[in-house]
């Protein structure tokens, strides 16, 4: 696909579509929109626009489509696979000025939002209603970015991911046409599910300018526990038994020994250094949750757990999960001279131990520092590998290991990405994972965006 650079006339025409203070070609602004949180190389757009309304988005897209100019949506740039990096330059639409919560309908469990709303701000606003928006990727992400990446987080096992919370979408298509998708009814079996097509499409099919999202009731009571295991295999069996036993965990996180060592060092946790499960339960009463914890302990002990630390109530849950939430930052902080490759794959739960064995095999004999942490209840594994900045030899090795492991996941019936999306980093696995259906994805893309102006260079190899 050949695109046209922004000429002086284009710049003037685009600036006239919005107020001058919402259009920029300034160096520092372009730099800020050149990279996300991944290690993919930056690429500057040619201009950044901060729209304030769907009609402004529509006008910009119509103009860009006629003139062959790429357009990439931008939430807060917290992606981990290069998803918003404008590798074909053109225009970046930054949604930070479309960040209004338009309406909260408590009794329908719904909220109407603009795409630039940060999900933590939505939850803050909802606090007094006893409701919340459950998907929680951790970073300060926008609803638009979460919808585009189908983001999820540590509580996906209980609450589901972003796709389970989108009821309606307002989307501007590549040629500027605005369409409305979905319904405010909480269930429907009407026609093709276009919502699910747009959720996870990484801004390659249309630009989201509004959404109606589903909300959930805040749990009345919380509990949590930490349990260590002699091996990943025994921890995996405990995960299966906890789920089969109907304990309905809200989070079930399995962390490798290296993570525990780091958390002990940073937070003085004093945990035994071995594969460890962090679990959380939500319920209506503390007595119900105390019972759940007793059963969970029985299950863990039966699998060889020697240290089970339970905690009842919100404060205890927060204490137990504080270190887990801080882990990502801890890893980055402890390797200031390194880039960190954050691998994100998912396999069927039964293939979990096979994958971890494979990870060990690949890393054996190397001097690489790595950490595995996983949303175990979903078979979603993150392997973080630290590689020295500028050490090409080391990075060649890391990339080779990552490639082998992702291919292994697909072979095991899994996916190249559990939650971070395809972006730039996972494009090469699309054919292996999707086979001939990749051709149908390409047809869908060309139906919605025949000139390929929307976030070009993403998803497809």
Question: In the complex, which residues of this chain contact ligand FAD (CB under 6 A)?
Answer: 36-37, 72-80, 83-84, 95, 115, 137-139, 141-142, 144-146, 148-149, 151-153, 202-203, 207-208, 328, 419-420, 455
Nearer to ligand FAD, 207 or 381 (CB): 207
Q: Return the structure tokens found at 351.
A: 């293939």
Nearer to ligand FAD, 305 or 331 (CB): 331
Nearer to ligand FAD, 219 or 328 (CB): 328
Q: How far is the CB of 427 from ligand FAD (least distance, A)?
A: 13
Q: How far is the CB of 380 from ligand FAD (least distance, A)?
A: 9
Q: Return the structure tokens found at 412.
A: 């095991």
Q: Which residues contact 39 (CB under 8 A, 6 or more apart)?
A: 339, 340, 341
Residue nearest to ligand FAD (CB): 145
Q: Return the structure tokens found at 150.
A: 């189908």
Nearer to ligand FAD, 75 or 219 (CB): 75
Nearer to ligand FAD, 57 or 363 (CB): 57
Q: How far is the CB of 83 from ligand FAD (least distance, A)?
A: 4
Instruction: Put the strands of the sheet holding 308-312 in their side by side order.
Output: 308-312, 221-228, 276-283, 251-255, 369-375, 380-388, 338-346
Q: Return the structure tokens found at 57.
A: 């988005």
Nearer to ligand FAD, 176 or 230 (CB): 176
Q: How far is the CB of 153 from ligand FAD (least distance, A)?
A: 4
Instruction: Put the strands of the sheet holding 178-182 in their side by side order.
Output: 101-105, 110-113, 207-214, 166-172, 178-182
Q: How far is the CB of 63 from ligand FAD (least distance, A)?
A: 17
**CA–CA separation, 210 vs 52, rounded Å?**
12
What's the farthest any 2 CA atoms get from each other in the chain? 72
**CA neighbor of 208 nearest in space, from 401, 431, 57:** 57
**CA–CA separation, 406 vs 173, rounded Å?**
33
Using an 8 Å Cβ cutoff, are 222 and 313 in contact? yes
Nearer to ligand FAD, 346 or 356 (CB): 346
Q: How far is the CB of 84 from ligand FAD (least distance, A)?
A: 4
Using an 8 Å Cβ cutoff, are 3 and 68 in contact? yes
Nearer to ligand FAD, 22 or 231 (CB): 22
Q: How far is the CB of 196 from ligand FAD (least distance, A)?
A: 15
Using an 8 Å Cβ cutoff, are 89 and 72 in contact? no
Q: How far is the CB of 301 from ligand FAD (least distance, A)?
A: 30
Q: How far is the CB of 76 from ligand FAD (least distance, A)?
A: 4
Q: How far is the CB of 303 from ligand FAD (least distance, A)?
A: 26
DSSP labels for 129-178? Answer: GTEE-----SS--BHHHHHHHT---TTHHHH--GGGGEEEEEEE-TTS-E
Q: Which residues contact 320 (CB under 8 A, 6 or more apart)?
A: 224, 225, 226, 278, 280, 309, 311
Beta-sheet strands, E only, within 301-379 = 308-312, 338-346, 369-375
Nearer to ligand FAD, 116 or 387 (CB): 116
Q: How far is the CB of 328 from ligand FAD (least distance, A)?
A: 4
Nearer to ligand FAD, 77 or 275 (CB): 77
For residue 259, what are the CA distances in angstroms to 240, 253, 409?
A: 22, 12, 22
Nearer to ligand FAD, 38 or 234 (CB): 38
């Amino acid at each position: 696909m050949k695109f046209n650079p922004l000429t002086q006339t284009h710049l003037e025409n685009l600036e006239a579509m919005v107020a001058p203070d919402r259009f920029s070609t300034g160096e520092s602004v372009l730099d800020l929109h050149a990279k996300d949180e991944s290690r993919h190389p930056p690429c500057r757009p040619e201009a950044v626009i901060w729209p304030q309304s769907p009609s402004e988005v529509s006008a910009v897209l119509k103009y860009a489509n006629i003139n062959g100019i790429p357009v990439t949506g931008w939430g807060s740039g917290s992606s981990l696979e290069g998803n918003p990096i404008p590798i074909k330059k053109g225009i970046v639409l930054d949604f930070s000025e479309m960040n209004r919560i338009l309406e909260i309908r408590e009794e329908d469990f719904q909220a109407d939002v603009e795409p630039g709303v940060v999900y933590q701000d939505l939850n803050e606003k909802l606090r007094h209603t006893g409701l919340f928006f459950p998907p929680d990727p951790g970073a300060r992400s926008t609803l638009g970015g979460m919808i585009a990446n189908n983001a999820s987080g540590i509580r996906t096992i209980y609450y589901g991911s972003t796709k389970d919370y989108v009821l309606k979408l307002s989307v501007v298509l590549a040629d500027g046409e605005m369409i409305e998708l979905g319904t405010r009814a909480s269930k429907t079996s009407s026609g093709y599910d276009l919502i699910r097509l747009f959720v996870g499409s990484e801004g390659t099919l249309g630009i989201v300018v509004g959404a109606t999202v589903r909300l959930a009731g805040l749990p009345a009571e919380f509990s949590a526990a930490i349990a260590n295991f002699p091996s990943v295999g025994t921890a995996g069996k405990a995960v299966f038994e906890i789920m089969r036993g109907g304990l309905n965990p809200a989070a079930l996180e399995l962390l490798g020994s290296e993570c525990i060592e780091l958390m002990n060092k940073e937070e003085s946790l004093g945990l035994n250094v071995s594969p460890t499960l962090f679990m959380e339960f939500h319920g209506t009463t503390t007595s119900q949750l105390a019972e759940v914890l007793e059963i969970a302990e029985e299950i863990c002990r039966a699998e060889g757990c020697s240290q089970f630390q339970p905690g009842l109530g919100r404060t205890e849950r927060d204490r137990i999960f504080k270190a887990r939430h801080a882990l990502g930052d801890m890893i980055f902080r402890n390797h200031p001279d390194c880039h960190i490759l954050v691998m994100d794959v998912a396999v069927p739960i039964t293939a979990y131990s096979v994958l971890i064995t494979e990870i060990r095999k690949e890393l054996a004999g190397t001097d690489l520092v790595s950490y595995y942490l996983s949303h175990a209840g979903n078979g979603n594994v993150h392997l973080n590998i630290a590689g020295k900045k500028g050490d090409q030899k080391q990075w060649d090795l890391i990339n080779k290991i990552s490639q082998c492991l992702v291919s292994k996941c697909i072979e095991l019936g899994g996916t190249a990405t559990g939650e971070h999306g395809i972006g730039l980093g996972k494009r090469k696995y699309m054919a292996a994972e999707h086979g001939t259906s990749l051709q149908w994805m390409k047809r869908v893309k060309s139906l919605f965006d025949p000139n390929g102006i929307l976030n070009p260079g993403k998803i497809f190899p």
